[in-house]
Amino acid sequence: MEVFQLVNLVVAGVKIAAKHIQLRLVLSDSQLIARAKGGDDDAFGEIVKRYQGFVYRQAWGYLQNDEAAKDATQDVFVTAYEAVAYLRNDSALRQWLYRICRNHCLNIIRRADIERRSRSEAPHKAQPDLPLRVALREMISTLDDRYREVIILRYYQDLTYDEIAQILDIPVTTVKVRLFRAKNKLKKMLGESS
């Protein structure tokens, strides 16, 4: 009887290992999503493994803080897990995760802005002795969301105009116009601060 139980345990272990190998090597994103929609937690776990680095890099680009980016990455995947059943276009997983991440990070930035404003009535101005990068980052954070996100995507994430357009679901010409306006706003702010 012990040999039979041992054989069953080995077979069960091989089946589990085979399932994990199949998930990692064979299944496309669409297949993983279909399985995740069906309640397969291992499939969603594989989605997390494939995209956690991508989501972390996007979150860091917005938040510029390692711990905040790690926390945001976890929150993004919790949101994605809860909403995976609603994902309509299974081939757009990367863009969907990016949008969840972007919205989450923008909410964090908005909350931080509100807290900062509530702590002091006078807006914080960069002091002249601070490095230009810090001052520029502060100025970028004051831009409207539509301008801030194209600046971050283009210059901090190094995405092309086409990639930005696809992620934001706007035409390429709109991306170019927003970048042009954002850069002009930054130039004016830099001129006023010098």
Cβ(5)–Cβ(12) below 8 Å: no
Q: What is the reported pTM?
A: 0.56
Q: Which of 100, 99, 184 is nearest to 143 (CA)?
A: 184
Cβ(156)–Cβ(170) below 8 Å: no
DSSP secondary structure letter of residue 158? -
* pLDDT at residue number 48: 93
At position 159, the amino acid (one-letter code) is: L
Tens of pLDDT, residues 86-127: 888 766 888 889 889 988 888 888 787 767 766 654 444 444
Both tokens of 34, joined, read 């279909």
* pLDDT at residue number 14: 61
Q: Return the CATH fold of 128-194.
A: Arc Repressor Mutant, subunit A (1.10.10)
CA 17-29-64 angle, to 5 degrees, is: 100
Per-domain residue ranges for the chain?
Answer: 1-124, 128-194
* pLDDT at residue number 128: 46
Architecture of domain 1-124: Orthogonal Bundle (1.10)
Cβ(61)–Cβ(39) below 8 Å: no
Higher pLDDT, 141 or 16: 141
Tens of pLDDT, residues 5-48: 666 666 676 666 555 555 555 788 888 888 888 889 899 999 99
Cα-atom radius of gyration of the chain, to the nearest Å? Answer: 22
* pLDDT at residue number 46: 93
Q: Which of 158, 150, 142 is nearest to 57 (CA)?
A: 158
